[in-house]
Amino acid sequence: MGLRFHPLLTHPDSPAPGAGARSCAEEQLVTFYLQSLPPVLRAQESYTFMTDCGKSIRASPSDTRWNLGVLEKFLLWSFIVAMKPLAKITNKDVQNFLDFCSSPPKSWISKLTNRFVKIDSVLKPNPEWHPFHTPLRSDGVRRVINRFFKLYSESIGLVLCSRRHPKTLRENTCRCNEAEHLCAQYLGKFKQKTNGKAGLELGLFLFATAFYLKIPLKECADCLTLDCFDFSDRKNARFKVITPQGSISGEMPEAYIEYFFRWRNISKLPPYPSPDEVNPLFHRRATKYSSAYIPSFDTDGLSPTRLLKLFQEGCIRCRDSSGQVRHGARRASQDNSENQPAPKPP
């Protein structure tokens, strides 16, 4: 598809005389443009997601307009450059878009801000308007795109793009001492962002299980079944799981049991599993794509899955000559008892 810029943002509603009529006329032009695109792009669907996202963003008008401007660029880029509908966009595509925003081609840049103009008294898209005025910093764009995909994860899939870091940072900086605090901080913020969505609630429970029980994420998804949990003594609930690396057992921390009850409640199950429940704790999709259910945000530049690994295994700097971790995680043979009573079920 050749370059064909068409604005997607219309005149914002306001009490000014004629503002409503102007907005309707611009929306009609946008509709004509979307209908002219190849059906495979599902352009109208993408545009609806963009406008609905604007309504859901609770921010100042200027922030909302800037966020929508990012989505406008993203949609035009997906139509013209990627030539994909949003449902086909991958993490790599999003990273390509971030790179595109940081250094857009000159053909995409214009200083003109008016998206629509009257030519011979007829309202038309401004032929001199281009999507970019200046390059955009990737951090701000990443936040908008990640929020957009999390909002519509049930409709178009969960696509998240984590922050890139210089190679020297990964090689020369040890973050193991901060990992436990950052994991707990991430878990608290994640809990506030699920909004009752099943996919995010599953990710929250998966992360909490790996963190509090100190079981590697893959083993949580592959090995845990409901009969791994023993609530026969409800004041001292215990667990034991057999993994390829050995067995992991111990008391269930009080903080974790709250997440356990939370997930059972969301799943419309009684708080305590019955003795004959032997189903896997996580369903097949979570087993295969566990990291896709754990979104990246506010983790001080580290992905949450990386944080878990640092907390449980440490980095290469924190291992002795035999490969054992000097601090941080207690490995599979260790008992991670907390000596705290289990909370009452909700």
Q: Rounded CA gap, 324 and 308, in Å? A: 17
- Is pLDDT of 284 > 50? yes
Q: What is the pLDDT of residues 304-327, one digit of tens each?
A: 888 888 888 877 666 544 445 554
- Is pLDDT of 1 > 50? no
pLDDT score for 20? 65
pLDDT score for 133? 87
Poorest-pLDDT segment among 4-13, 144-153, 314-323, 328-337: 328-337
Q: What is residue 121's DSSP assignment?
A: T
Q: What is the pLDDT of residues 134-187, one digit of tens each?
A: 888 777 888 888 878 777 655 555 455 555 544 433 444 566 778 888 888 888
Q: What is the dihedral of CA 188, 193, 198, 200, to 10 degrees?
A: -70
Region 8-36 average pLDDT: 73
Q: What is residue 82's DSSP assignment?
A: I
Helix axes 254-266, 198-212, angle to 10 degrees: 160
Phi and psi at residue 256, in whole multiples of 5°?
A: -70, -40
- Is pLDDT of 344 > 80? no
Strands (E), the chain: 116-119, 122-125, 229-230, 238-243, 246-251
pLDDT score for 208? 92
Name residue 260's amino acid: F
Residue ranges of the domains in the chain? Answer: 19-155, 171-318
Q: Rounded CA gap, 4 and 207, in Å? A: 44
Q: Rounded CA gap, 42 and 51, in Å? A: 15
Q: What is the pLDDT of residues 216-259, one digit of tens each?
A: 888 888 888 888 999 988 889 999 998 887 889 999 999 999 99
pLDDT score for 217? 83
- Give the percent of the chain with pLDDT over 90: 14
Q: Rounded CA gap, 295 and 203, in Å? A: 8
